[in-house]
C-alpha cells in the first residue's frame, strides 16, 4: 500500500514545488530591490488580462504542450529525451520545406502536409540517438545533447546559403505562400464589430495540440504499445520476460517523442513566423522537460503545466518590458521548478510521507 | 602554411583547449565516482560571472578566481545534495543547474552593474596576464626550438600551465593513490566500497567537490584570462564539448588531454577560415567545424572507433542495504 494518497502525489507535491520555486524567486527579486508582489500582479495582468494577452499565453502554451508531450512519452519508457530542442529545429525545417516547395490549395490540406513533414523530420532526428541507445547502449542523454548542437549548426548552415532568400542579408527563408496561412484566433473568434485576440499569434495549432494530448493519453493507457512502453519503463527485465523487445520499444518511443517535438513547428514556424528563421525554437524544447516533470507525465497535467509556463513566458516578457527585471528571470524560475519537481523531489516527498504516516497512525 | 602561422594556430589551440581540459577533468572526477554531471556548462558560466564580477570590484584577479571557484562549488553542492543525499535524477539536476546559471548570471549582472547583463571590462591586475617563462627572450632566435619555446610554450597565463599540470596530477591521484582507487571503485561498484567500510556518500561528495573546483578554474579562465570580462552565455557550449571530450577520452586523463587539444584545434581553425582556405585550397564551412566535436563523439558512441564504456554505476544513486 502506498504511503500517500494519490492526490497528494499528483497535486500536492507539484504545488509545493512551485511554491518553493516562487518563494525563492521572490527572495531574489527582493534582493534586487524589486517588489515581488508588483511583479506577480503585472505578470498575471500581462498574460491573462485581455484576449490579446491570452492570445500570447496560449501561443506559448501550444509550443510547450508539444515539447512536454514529447519528453513525457520518452519518460514513460524511462528514456530522457533532452533533444526536443534539436528535434523541433528539424521539425521547423520540415514545415518550411513543405510550405515553400509544395503548392498547397488550402490551409486545411497544407497543415496536414506540414504536420506530417514536421513529425517525420523530428522523428528522423531522434532516430540515430534512439538506435545508438537500443543497439549500442550509448546514453540517450549524451547523444541527444550532441544532436541539439548538430541541429543548430545544420540550420545555421542552411539559412546561410541553400534555403536563404538570394540577395537578402537576413538569415531567413522566404515568406510562406498565402494558402499555407493558418487561421489565428483573431480570425476564428472575431465576429462583426467585436475583435478578439487582435494581433496575437495563437492559432488553430492550439487545437491540434489538444488533440495530441488526447492521442498520447489514448496511446499510453489504452493501447498495447502504450502498455509495452510503460512496462519497459518500469522494469526492462520484466518487459523482456513478458516477450517485449526493448530495442523495438526504445525505437518506437523515441520516434514518437521526436515526432511530437517536431510538430511544435506547425505552431511557431507556420502559425506565427510564416517563414523559417534562426533560433525559432528559443528553448521550448528544454521547457518541455520542466513541463513533463511538473505534469507528472500525464497529458492533462502537461496541459496545465504548459499553461503555467505559457503564463511565465508571457508574464515574464511583460515584466522585462515594464520593470527593470531581465527576461532571464524566467530561466531562473524554470530552473528552480525543474530542480524541485525533478531532482529534489525527495526533499518535498520525504517530510510529506512522514506527515501522512503519522496521520494514518493517529487514525488507527 | 608557413611555420609562424602554424605556431600561431597551435598557440590558439592551447589557449582554447584549456577551459575544455579543466572542465573535462572536472567531469572525469565526478563521473568516475558515478555521478553524471551535465551541469559542467552551468558551473563554468557561474564561475565566469562571479570571478569577473569580484575581479572588477576588487581589482585583484586572485580574489576573482576564489570567488569563481566558490560559485561553482555552490552549484556542485546543489548537485551533490540532489543526486547523492536526496537520490534524485542526476541528469535532471544537471539540466536545472545549467538553466539556473544561465539565468542567474544575467539577472545578477544586470542588478549589480546595469550594463546589459555583462561585467565591466577588466584591465591590469584584474586579469590573468601572460607570463614569460625563463630564457624565452634569450632563446627566441635559436632556430626551430627558439620560436616554439617563445611563441607556443611561453607566454600563456598561469591557468594554462595549471590545466596542463592537472593531467599528470589527475592520473597520479586516480591510479596511484588509495583515494583514487576508492573513487574509481565507487563509480563501478559502490556496494563493494561500502562493504569495505568506506563511506560512499563521502567519496562521492569529494568527487563532486573536486569537480566544482576545476569547473570554477575553467570558468574564471574564460572571463579573466581568455576574455576580459563576463558576457551573457560566454561558456558557449564548452561544458558540453568537454563532456564530449570525456567520452572521446573514454574517461582517462591523458586521453582527455589529447581529446581537448583536438577539439581546441577545431575551435582555433574555425576562428581562422583564411588559414584553412590557404592550406586546403578550398573553403571549409565554419559551422561544420563548430559541430565537428559533436559529430566525432556520436561516431565514437556508435562504436566505429573503439568502444566507450562509462563507469558502471554512473547515474545511479546508491541506496545502502538495510
pLDDT in tens, B149-194: 777 788 889 999 999 999 999 999 999 999 999 999 999 999 999 9
Q: Is there a contact between B88 and A146 if contact means CB atoms under 8 Å apart?
A: no
CB atoms closer than 10 angstroms to residue A116 = 15
> For B41-68, what is the mean pLDDT?
95
Q: Is B321 helix (H, G, I), strand (E, B) or coil?
A: coil
pLDDT band at A115 (very low <50, low <70, confident <90, very high): very high
Q: Is A277 helix (H, G, I), strand (E, B) or coil?
A: strand
**Alpha-carbon gap, residue A202 to B311, rounded angstroms:** 47
> For A129-140, what is the mean pLDDT?
86
> For A53-76, what is the mean pLDDT?
95
For A232, the grid coordinates are 519497459
Q: Find chain A residues with C-beta within 8 A of B96's C-beta.
A: 335-336, 338-339, 342-343
Does residue A92 have a pLDDT over 90? yes
Q: Is B87 helix (H, G, I), strand (E, B) or coil?
A: coil
- List the one residue out of A92, A49, A78 whose CA is nearest residue A267: A92
Domain ranges of chain A: 56-349
For A37, the grid coordinates are 508582489
Query: Which carries the bigger pLDDT value, residue B283 or residue A269?
Result: A269
**Alpha-carbon gap, residue A301 to A239, rounded angstroms:** 26
User: pTM of the prediction?
Assistant: 0.90
> For B2-9, what is the mean pLDDT?
84
Q: What residue numbers bound the domain in which B36 lies?
A: 3-236
Please give the ipTM for the structure prediction: 0.89
Does residue B256 have a pLDDT over 90? yes
**Alpha-carbon gap, residue B95 to A84, rounded angstroms:** 13
Dihedral (Cα; A52, A57, A61, A62), 10-degree rounding: 20
Q: Is there a contact between B100 and A325 if contact means CB atoms under 8 Å apart?
A: no
Please write the tens of the pLDDT for every residue from B231-245.
998 988 899 999 989
Dihedral (Cα; A139, A140, A141, A145), 10-degree rounding: 120
Q: Is there a contact between B96 and A328 if contact means CB atoms under 8 Å apart?
A: no
The DSSP H or E segment spanning B302 is none
pLDDT band at B107 (very low <50, low <70, confident <90, very high): very high
pLDDT band at A346 (very low <50, low <70, confident <90, very high): confident
According to the model, what pLDDT value does residue A198 have? 79
Q: Where are the alpha helices (DSSP H) in chain A?
A: 6-7, 13-31, 36-48, 51-76, 84-101, 107-131, 140-160, 185-189, 205-222, 224-234, 236-241, 246-265, 284-294, 299-322, 329-338, 345-363
Please write the tens of the pLDDT for every residue from A288-326.
998 998 888 999 999 999 999 999 999 988 888 888 788
CB atoms closer than 10 angstroms to residue B320 = 9
Residue of chain B with shortest Cα separation from A283: B99
pLDDT band at B322 (very low <50, low <70, confident <90, very high): low
Q: Is B169 helix (H, G, I), strand (E, B) or coil?
A: helix
pLDDT band at A215 (very low <50, low <70, confident <90, very high): very high
Q: Which range, A28-37, A179-188, B91-100, B311-320, is most confident?
A: B91-100
In the numeric block, the cell 553524471 is attached to B36
Residue A103, classified by CB atoms within 10 Å of its CB into exposed (0-12), middle (13-18) or buried (19+), is exposed
CB atoms closer than 10 angstroms to residue B19 = 30
In a domain, B111, yes or no: yes
Q: Is there a contact between A343 and B88 if contact means CB atoms under 8 Å apart?
A: yes
According to the model, what pLDDT value does residue A245 have? 92
> For B18-26, what is the mean pLDDT?
96
For A284, the grid coordinates are 521550448
Please write the tens of the pLDDT for every residue from B259-274.
999 999 988 888 877 7
Shortest CB distance from B103 goes to which of A152, A324, A335? A335
Residue A264, classified by CB atoms within 10 Å of its CB into exposed (0-12), middle (13-18) or buried (19+), is buried
> For B60-81, what is the mean pLDDT?
95
Query: Which carries the bigger pLDDT value, residue A65 or residue B133?
Result: A65
Q: Is there a contact between A342 and B92 if contact means CB atoms under 8 Å apart?
A: yes
Domain A56-349 grouped into CATH 1.10.357: no
Q: Is there a contact between B92 and A343 if contact means CB atoms under 8 Å apart?
A: yes
According to the model, what pLDDT value does residue A212 have? 96
Q: Is A128 on the interface with B (CB under 8 A)?
A: yes
For A241, the grid coordinates are 520476460
Q: Is B93 on the interface with A (CB under 8 A)?
A: yes
Q: Find chain B residues with C-beta within 8 A of A82's C-beta.
A: 91, 95
Q: Is A30 on the interface with B (CB under 8 A)?
A: no
pLDDT band at A343 (very low <50, low <70, confident <90, very high): confident
Does residue A1 have a pLDDT over 60? no
Query: Chain A interface, mutation test: which of B38, B235, B287, most A Cβ atoms within 10 Å?
Result: B287
What is the number of structural domains in chain B?
A: 1
According to the model, what pLDDT value does residue B66 have? 96
Q: What is the pLDDT of chain B when averaged over all its residues?
A: 89
> For B31-38, what is the mean pLDDT?
92
Residue A101, classified by CB atoms within 10 Å of its CB into exposed (0-12), middle (13-18) or buried (19+), is exposed
Amino acid at each position: 500500500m502506498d504511503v500517500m494518497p494519490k492526490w497528494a502525489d499528483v497535486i500536492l507535491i507539484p504545488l509545493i514545488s512551485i511554491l518553493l520555486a516562487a518563494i525563492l524567486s521572490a527572495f531574489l527579486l527582493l534582493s534586487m530591490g524589486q517588489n515581488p508582489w508588483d511583479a506577480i500582479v503585472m505578470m498575471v495582468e500581462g498574460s491573462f488580462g485581455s484576449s490579446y494577452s491570452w492570445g500570447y499565453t496560449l501561443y506559448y502554451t501550444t509550443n510547450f504542450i508539444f515539447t512536454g508531450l514529447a519528453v513525457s512519452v520518452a519518460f514513460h519508457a524511462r528514456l530522457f529525451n533532452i533533444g526536443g530542442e534539436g528535434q523541433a529545429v528539424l521539425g521547423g525545417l520540415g514545415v518550411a520545406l513543405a510550405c515553400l516547395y509544395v503548392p498547397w490549395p488550402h490551409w486545411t490540406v497544407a497543415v496536414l502536409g506540414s504536420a506530417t513533414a514536421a513529425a517525420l523530420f523530428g522523428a528522423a532526428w531522434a532516430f540515430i540517438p534512439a538506435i545508438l541507445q537500443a543497439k549500442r547502449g550509448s546514453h540517450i542523454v549524451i547523444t541527444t545533447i550532441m544532436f541539439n548542437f548538430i541541429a543548430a549548426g545544420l540550420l545555421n548552415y542552411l539559412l546561410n546559403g541553400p534555403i536563404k532568400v538570394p540577395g537578402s542579408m537576413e538569415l531567413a527563408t522566404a515568406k510562406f505562400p498565402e494558402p499555407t496561412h493558418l487561421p489565428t484566433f483573431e480570425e476564428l473568434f472575431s465576429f462583426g464589430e467585436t475583435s478578439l485576440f487582435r494581433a496575437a499569434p495563437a492559432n488553430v495549432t492550439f487545437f491540434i495540440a489538444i488533440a495530441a494530448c488526447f492521442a498520447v493519453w489514448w496511446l499510453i493507457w489504452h493501447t498495447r504499445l502504450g502498455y509495452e512502453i510503460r512496462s519497459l519503463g518500469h522494469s526492462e527485465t520484466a518487459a523482456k520476460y513478458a516477450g517485449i523487445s526493448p530495442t523495438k520499444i526504445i525505437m518506437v518511443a523515441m520516434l514518437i517523442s521526436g515526432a511530437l517535438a517536431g510538430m511544435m513547428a506547425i505552431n511557431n514556424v507556420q502559425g506565427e513566423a510564416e517563414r523559417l528563421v534562426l533560433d525559432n525554437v528559443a528553448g521550448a524544447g528544454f521547457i518541455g522537460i520542466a513541463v513533463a516533470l511538473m505534469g507528472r507525465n500525464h497529458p492533462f497535467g502537461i496541459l496545465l503545466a504548459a499553461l503555467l509556463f505559457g503564463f511565465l513566458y508571457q508574464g515574464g516578457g511583460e515584466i522585462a518590458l515594464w520593470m527593470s527585471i531581465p527576461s532571464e528571470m524566467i530561466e531562473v524560475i524554470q530552473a528552480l521548478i525543474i530542480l524541485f519537481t525533478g531532482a529534489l523531489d525527495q526533499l518535498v516527498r520525504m517530510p510529506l510521507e512522514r506527515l501522512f504516516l503519522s496521520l494514518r497512525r493517529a487514525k488507527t | 602554411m608557413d611555420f609562424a602561422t602554424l605556431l600561431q594556430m597551435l598557440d590558439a589551440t592551447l589557449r582554447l583547449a584549456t577551459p575544455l581540459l579543466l572542465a573535462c577533468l572536472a567531469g572525469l572526477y565526478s563521473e568516475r565516482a558515478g555521478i553524471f554531471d551535465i551541469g559542467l556548462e552551468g558551473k563554468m558560466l557561474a564561475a565566469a560571472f562571479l570571478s569577473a564580477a569580484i575581479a572588477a570590484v576588487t581589482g585583484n584577479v586572485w580574489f576573482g578566481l576564489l570567488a569563481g571557484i566558490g560559485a561553482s562549488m555552490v552549484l556542485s553542492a546543489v548537485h551533490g545534495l540532489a543526486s547523492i543525499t536526496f537520490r534524485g535524477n542526476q541528469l535532471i539536476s544537471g539540466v536545472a543547474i545549467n538553466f539556473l546559471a544561465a539565468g542567474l548570471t544575467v539577472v545578477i549582472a544586470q542588478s549589480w552593474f546595469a550594463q546589459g547583463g555583462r561585467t565591466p571590462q577588466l584591465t591590469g591586475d584584474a586579469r590573468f596576464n601572460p607570463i614569460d617563462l625563463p630564457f624565452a627572450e634569450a632563446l627566441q632566435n635559436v632556430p626551430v626550438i627558439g620560436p616554439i619555446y617563445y611563441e607556443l610554450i611561453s607566454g600563456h597565463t598561469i591557468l594554462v600551465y595549471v590545466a596542463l599540470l592537472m593531467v599528470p596530477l589527475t592520473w597520479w591521484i586516480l591510479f596511484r593513490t588509495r583515494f583514487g582507487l576508492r573513487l574509481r571503485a565507487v563509480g563501478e561498484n559502490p556496494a563493494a566500497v561500502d562493504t569495505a567500510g568506506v563511506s560512499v556518500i563521502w567519496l562521492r561528495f569529494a568527487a563532486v567537490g573536486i569537480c566544482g573546483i576545476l569547473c570554477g578554474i575553467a570558468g574564471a579562465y574564460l572571463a579573466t584570462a581568455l576574455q576580459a570580462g563576463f558576457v551573457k552565455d560566454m561558456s558557449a557550449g564548452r561544458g558540453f564539448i568537454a563532456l564530449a571530450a570525456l567520452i572521446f577520452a573514454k574517461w582517462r586523463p591523458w586521453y582527455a588531454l589529447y581529446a581537448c587539444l583536438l577539439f581546441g584545434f577545431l575551435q582555433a581553425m574555425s576562428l581562422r577560415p583564411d588559414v584553412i582556405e590557404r592550406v586546403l585550397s578550398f573553403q571549409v564551412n565554419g559551422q561544420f567545424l563548430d559541430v565537428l566535436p559533436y559529430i566525432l563523439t556520436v561516431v565514437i558512441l556508435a562504436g566505429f572507433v573503439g568502444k566507450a564504456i562509462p563507469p558502471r554505476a554512473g547515474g545511479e544513486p546508491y541506496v545502502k542495504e538495510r
